[in-house]
Structure 1
């Protein structure tokens, strides 16, 4: 029997760290999206609490009482990349057909999700492209440098490697997640890079990306520089897969 499009199971996965100021509204923003695509109540909004020191996880548990499609998960703090990998592997294990990822700081617009969802059958992965950014010139500059480094190491041209607004099939994640170390800190960058390098059906769609809506960003210049130096070593390691 041919599978119906309406039967597709969607998992929206969101890493969260010390997001008590944002988490309630973030859930209220994205929960209706999951409800619209609930696929027999199998779809989920999965929020992974990455060892927050505030009451992020407690708020999620409170919200889940009246939101059956909300799945709060928690793990020891390991950083954004670790939380992303945890979320992706959970969604794959739960046999989600499609996995969509965004962040908890409310910089993305849920209204733009449908454009991705409507094209899901034509692509293995659809990535957001932050053509205009509300998070400052420094971060936009870092992303441009990163894209140039990826072109040097992997011979790929991508407009945005790390946007937290992406829809991927389970098969796409099943293929590429095993290539990454358990707690790799830039999984979205490599998920974008591998897709382009291995000629998968990928597409980039411009998205809105606003300023952070409350709370404090845990990333600073010192951390960015540290991640950058480590990334160069990691990219050399990943070249064993890409030739």
Structure 2
């Protein structure tokens, strides 16, 4: 049961350079809910698109009941766009999906059916994932980190196609840091979560915006903002290096006492100094990364800025 005037479902769709397909995505999503008589709203967030995506979204918000179009000032990333949509949503349940119809809106029915079993987070697990090999490798790397940091179950598969209960969404919305990672926050703030099998279609228009650089940036965001694991690794490396240096010093001391000192040890000295100075610089760089992110958290009120919002009923 939802309060009067509150939609049962909110659908959040981050949009980036999808002018040729996003209108169809909105129309099919609206038709899906209307056919079932489920009250809903569709929140489309333009994440600084460089094409005519915002014009398409603005027109859709004027034409289609229940559509809310939000234009971000600049490209802030998919996770910030999702967070913006969460904060604008009112539904008792929030669906997140991509803008390119790789997640068919009709598959939302499977998420809803699974949620009725008592889960507060239901994630679509694809029968076969239509992604490039490097993205699958990146997904495995992210999954390993999520299991260590956020307690993701080994048999739980994450995707951008998910259904989230309102109380979990409200906890995610309370996050005020500059680097939101929505999947991890959903894992942290949910109690009962599960997968359900859904279809995943090939991308019909354009190409994926994810590449190795974005994947590595995501990995760094997770590691440096939600975990002290890199710092511990570097501390362990520093301790091991110090121990090795101490043993090496003892060896050369004994060598000098027993056999005397040879001047031709210049090469060894240079190599060792280069190695240990390199380790020191690595440690300082790691600490500097943490300091920069702490400064950003203290100085930045919001990780995104809204330029314009258009509602159908406005």
- Tell me which interval the TM-score lies in, with the shorter structure as reference length: 0.7 to 0.9
Q: Quote the residue 2:85 is aligned against.
A: 87
Alignment of 1:105-116 (within 5 A): 105-116=100-111
Alignment partners' CA distance in 2, 1:140 and 1:193: 23
Could you state the TM-score of these two structures normalised by the residue count of structure 2?
0.64
Q: 1:155 to 1:183 in 2, by over 3 A?
A: closer
Contiguous gaps of at least 5 residues in structure 2: 230-314
Say which of 42, 47, 60 aligns to 1:45. Answer: 42
In the alignment, what sits opposite 2:11?
12
List per-residue Cα deviations over 1:76-131 (Å, max 9, x = no partner).
Answer: 2211111010001111xxx3111111010211122211122234342211111235
Deviations 1:155-188 (A, max 9, x none): 432445541111111111112332462442x312
C-alpha RMSD of the superposition? 2.5
**In structure 2, C-alpha distance between the alignment counterparts of 1:81 and 1:140, rounded to whole Å:** 19
Q: Distance in 1 between the 2:195 and 2:94 partners?
A: 16
DSSP-derived class of the 1:44 partner: strand
Larger mean CA deviation between 220-229 and 79-88 belongs to 220-229
SS class of match (1:118): helix
Deviation at 1:189, TM superposition (A): 3.4
Counterpart of 1:64 in structure 2 is: 61
| Pairwise CA distance, 1:3 | 6.4
Partner of 1:104: 99
Contact 2:135 2:211 in 1 (8 A): no
Distance 1:28 1:160, change over 3 A: farther
SS of residue in 1 equivalent to 2:222? helix
Question: TM-score, structure 1 length as denominator?
Answer: 0.82
Task: Find the aligned partners of 1:182 and 1:24 in 2 and give their Cα distance.
Answer: 30
Asked whether 1:35 is paired with 2:34, we answer: yes
Higher strand share: 1
Equivalent-residue separation in structure 1 for 2:176 and 2:7 (angstroms): 27
Tell me the residue number matched to 1:166. 162
Q: 1:84 to 1:180 in 2, by over 3 A?
A: same
Using the alignment, how far apart are the partners of 2:149 and 2:13 within structure 1? 29
2-side partners of 1:202 and 1:90: how far apart? 24
In structure 1, distance between residues paired with 2:102 and 2:40: 23
* C-alpha distance in structure 2 between counterparts of 1:33 and 1:219, whole Å: 28
Q: 135, 149, 153: which is aligned to 2:149?
A: 153
Contact 1:101/1:166 (<8 A) preserved: yes
Larger relative helix fraction: 2
CA pair 54-147 structure 1, distance change in 2 beyond 3 A: same
The whole-number CA distance in structure 1 between the counterparts of 2:87 and 2:79 is 12
